[in-house]
Amino acid sequence: MSDGADRVETRLYVEEPLQAGATLGLDHARAHFLRAVLRLKRGARIAVFNGRDGEWAARLDALGKGWASLVVEDQRRDQEPGPDLWLVFAPIKRARLDFLVEKAVELGVSRLQPAMSRHTAVSRVNRERLVANAREAAEQCERLDVPEVGEARPLFDIMGDWPSERRLLVCSERSAAEPLSVVLQAAAGGGAAGAGATGGGKDPWAILVGPEGGFARSELDGLLKLPFVTPVGLGPRILRADTAALFALACWQAFLGDGAIRPAMRET
Ligand code: SAH
């Protein structure tokens, strides 16, 4: 059990470099959160992380109406690379999208890429909202980084400049796709699961989930022609897009990601 001196009240993602003695200024929203929501007082300790320098403890040095400053004290965790797993998804309606983003962050994705397809019901995506939700989820689940959030782009524009070394699992409820578990088991075992399977979670992977209206036939045909694509089935039921994404992400983590290893037991 860490003693009270080491206890931190909350975690905050910051942009600034982290080193002992650095001073961090907090914007209005974060200052308000610490002061009015958490009712923290001067001297309280907070964990801070920036996705590069690990996690540090920082002390609340001064705060007022709409502003606060922290002084970085000591490092608590080294930066560790997470799995290199993208989620490419057709945006869905706001409440479900907020849920999907939060769960994808908890499930360790390294990038969230909205993809506009023929039947996508949403005409625009509020990227700032996705970024804010992703940061909040990363703070809560004790990640040491926040996933990148791409601008929404047409599906085949994304495919057009796709990094060829990144395997893309296309969740397809209609085509004759192999069960996801079979594809992942083979990749985990290094076996050949269809053309171009790569072994293990150290490689770059991605998962694509369609909109509530599904992929158009022509979209699926176009996707299945791409060399880096493996279609996968998620079972006999038609899952909602958010359910399908979480199902696929969880399976990937269990077979290839860090969900397959015992968590490093951290001091509570
Ligand atoms: N309305 C569509 C279903 C879309 S479900 C229809 O009835 O045809 C939303 C997305 O979730 C799909 O595009 C697919 O990517 C994924 N999905 C849902 N159920 C799935 C399943 N059983 N297997 C694979 N992917 C699935």
Which ligand 1 atom is nearest residue 208's CA? 15
Q: Which amino acid is at 66?
A: G
> Separation of 216 CA from ligand 1 center, angstroms?
11
Q: How far apart are CA 118 and CA 120, in angstroms?
A: 6
Q: What is the pTM of this model?
A: 0.90
**135 φ, ψ (degrees, to nearest 5):** -65, -45
Q: Percentage of the chain with pLDDT > 70?
A: 89
- 209 within ligand 1 shell (Cβ under 6 A): yes
Q: How far apart are CA 98 and CA 2, in angstroms?
A: 34
> Cβ contacts of residue 225 below 8 Å, gap of 6+?
none
- pLDDT digit string (tens) for 104-128? 999 999 999 999 999 998 889 999 9
Which residue, among 222, 251, 97, 109, has the nearest Cα to 159 in the 3D structure?
Answer: 222
- 89 within ligand 1 shell (Cβ under 6 A): no
58: tokens are 């920082």
- 251 within ligand 1 shell (Cβ under 6 A): no
188: tokens are 């985990």
Q: Which amino acid is at 151?
A: E
> Where residue 191 falls among pLDDT bands split at 50, 70, 90?
very low
- pLDDT digit string (tens) for 125-182? 999 999 999 999 999 999 999 999 999 999 999 999 999 999 999 999 876 789 999 9
Q: How far apart are CA 85 and CA 198, in angstroms?
A: 13
54: tokens are 């690990």
Residue closest by Cα to atom 13 of ligand 1: 210
Domains and CATH numbers, the chain: 4-77 (2.40.240.20), 85-264 (3.40.1280.10)
Mutating to test ligand 1, I would choose from 92, 168, 173 the residue with most ligand atoms within 8 A of its C-beta, which is 173
Q: What is the Cα gyration radius of the chain?
A: 21
Average pLDDT taken over every residue of the chain: 90
